[in-house]
């Protein structure tokens, strides 16, 4: 298929491994970049050894590295170091997610590499960033979820510290790095110069705290976990229907009036304790049992159908298996096939960035075997 994607002709030299960095380069690949994944001889990306496995191959690795190319280089070997330098001359972007200082110890920090290629965009993703007193500390997803404050507002009141169910410490940092790369590519078109991008997982967690920071600034009280409830919009949470849980999100007073009419409780519309969102939030403890009684009278499916018709935001809590049958997810091409020559077809998450300039393909190229493209890349770039 012809590549008419926005990052066509952008070449990424990808030194990243596990999740944050590979998630970034997966996005760049989905947008048309050619990603050359540099891996350690004999071992490769650590995630090649992470389960679950299909016929001995890591499904985890495949899901993050589909469509990339793999070459093997030992950056401590003189011959391979020279090859690496020659590749740096030819690429647009270099990504790495080592602990800060690692690339400098190898002699390949940004200050050295920009001498080789002044147009190089050097994107570094790390736990705590390349500056500050904690810069050199090791970090994993749960470390930054905890340090970044999000675990302190996740879970149910009085419960133990709770990690967000997906690795958002890594994933959000990968997203911000991809945004930085795209912005740097655009700026390079104007200046002709590359630059260094420094994205910290910790910074990225702080960046997504949204109203938790605002609430602390206004009240002086650290926000606490509220379960499946919005902190400042009411009612806006998970409710137990007759058979299952359902999400009902009443985001303004007009929706509140619609909801009250839909459930036959017009008396609540102008009730002095519930007439405005501020009052409903203030009197949450009084409103909650009323809502629970109303919602318990019908099944989740019945409420979804009825409230949908009334224009009330409502929806199910899907388990992962239900995503595969959800007609909206199918229509948006959000579960696509990777066609692996050894294990056959495997479903992975699709690209959420839909663009009119190119068709969103139904499948993806396979993840590379370790070193699969070494000969091809060396011949093509270094002759």
Catalytic residue among 130, 230, 271, 373: 230
- Give the tens place of pLDDT for each residue, 45-82: 999 999 999 999 999 999 999 999 999 999 999 999 99
Question: Of all helices (H) and strands (E), which one includes residue 293?
Answer: helix 284-295
What pLDDT, on a 0 to 100 scale, did the predictor assign at position 338? 96
Residue with tokens 């507002």: 153
pLDDT value at residue 2: 66
In order of their start, the domains of the chain are: 11-208+330-382 (3.40.50.10540), 236-240+245-316 (3.30.1540.10)
Active-site residue 230, yes or no?
yes
Residues of the chain whose pLDDT is less than 70? Answer: 1-2
Please provide the average confidence, as pLDDT, over all residues in the chain.
96
**pLDDT at 1 (0 to 100):** 55
Q: Which tens digit of pLDDT belongs to each residue from 329-362?
A: 999 999 999 999 999 999 999 999 999 999 999 9
**Those residues with Cβ within 8 angstroms of residue 198's Cβ, 6 or more apart along the chain or in another chain:** 124, 126, 129, 130, 131
Specify the long-range contacts of residues 2-10, CB closer than 8 Å, at least 24 apart: 3/32, 4/32, 4/357, 4/358, 5/31, 5/32, 5/355, 5/357, 5/358, 6/31, 6/32, 6/355, 6/357, 6/358, 7/31, 7/32, 7/33, 7/182, 7/185, 8/32, 10/34, 10/92, 10/93, 10/185
Helix (H) or strand (E) holding 185: helix 168-191
Confidence at residue 3, expressed as pLDDT on a 0 to 100 scale: 78
């Amino acid at each position: 298929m012809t590549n008419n994607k926005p990052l066509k002709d952008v070449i990424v030299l990808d030194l990243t491994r596990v999740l944050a960095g590979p998630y970034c380069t997966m996005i760049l690949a989905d947008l048309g970049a050619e990603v050359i994944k540099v891996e350690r001889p004999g071992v490769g990306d650590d995630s090649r050894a992470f389960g679950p496995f299909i016929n001995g191959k890591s499904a985890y690795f495949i899901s993050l590295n589909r469509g990339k190319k793999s070459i093997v280089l030992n950056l401590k070997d003189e011959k391979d170091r020279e090859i690496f330098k020659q590749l740096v001359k030819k690429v647009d972007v270099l990504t790495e997610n080592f602990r800060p200082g690692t690339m400098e110890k190898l002699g390949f920090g940004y200050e050295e590499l920009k001498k080789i290629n002044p147009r190089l965009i050097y994107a570094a993703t790390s736990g705590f960033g390349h500056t500050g007193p904690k810069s050199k500390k090791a970090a994993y997803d749960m470390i930054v979820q905890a340090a970044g404050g999000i675990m302190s507002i996740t879970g149910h009141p009085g419960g133990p510290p709770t990690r967000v169910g997906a690795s958002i410490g890594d994933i959000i940092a990968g997203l911000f790095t991809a945004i930085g790369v795209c912005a740097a590519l655009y700026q390079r078109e104007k200046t002709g110069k590359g630059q260094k991008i420094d994205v910290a997982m910790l910074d990225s967690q702080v960046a997504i705290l949204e109203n938790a920071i605002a609430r602390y600034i206004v009240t002086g009280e650290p926000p606490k976990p509220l379960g499946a409830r919005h902190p400042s919009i009411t009612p806006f949470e998970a409710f137990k229907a007759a058979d299952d849980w359902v999400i009902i999100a009443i985001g303004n007073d007009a929706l509140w009036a619609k909801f009250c009419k839909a459930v036959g409780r017009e008396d609540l519309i102008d009730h002095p304790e519930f007439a405005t969102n501020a009052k409903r939030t203030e009197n949450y403890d009084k409103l909650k049992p009323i809502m629970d009684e109303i919602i318990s009278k019908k099944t989740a499916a019945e409420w979804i159908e009825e409230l949908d018709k009334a224009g009330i935001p409502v929806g199910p809590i899907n388990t992962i298996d239900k995503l595969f049958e959800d007609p909206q997810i199918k229509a948006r091409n959000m579960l696509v096939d990777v066609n692996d020559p050894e294990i056959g077809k495997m479903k992975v998450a699709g690209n959420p960035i839909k663009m009119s300039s190119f068709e969103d393909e139904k499948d993806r190229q396979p993840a590379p075997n370790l070193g699969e493209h070494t000969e091809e890349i060396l011949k093509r770039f270094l002759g």
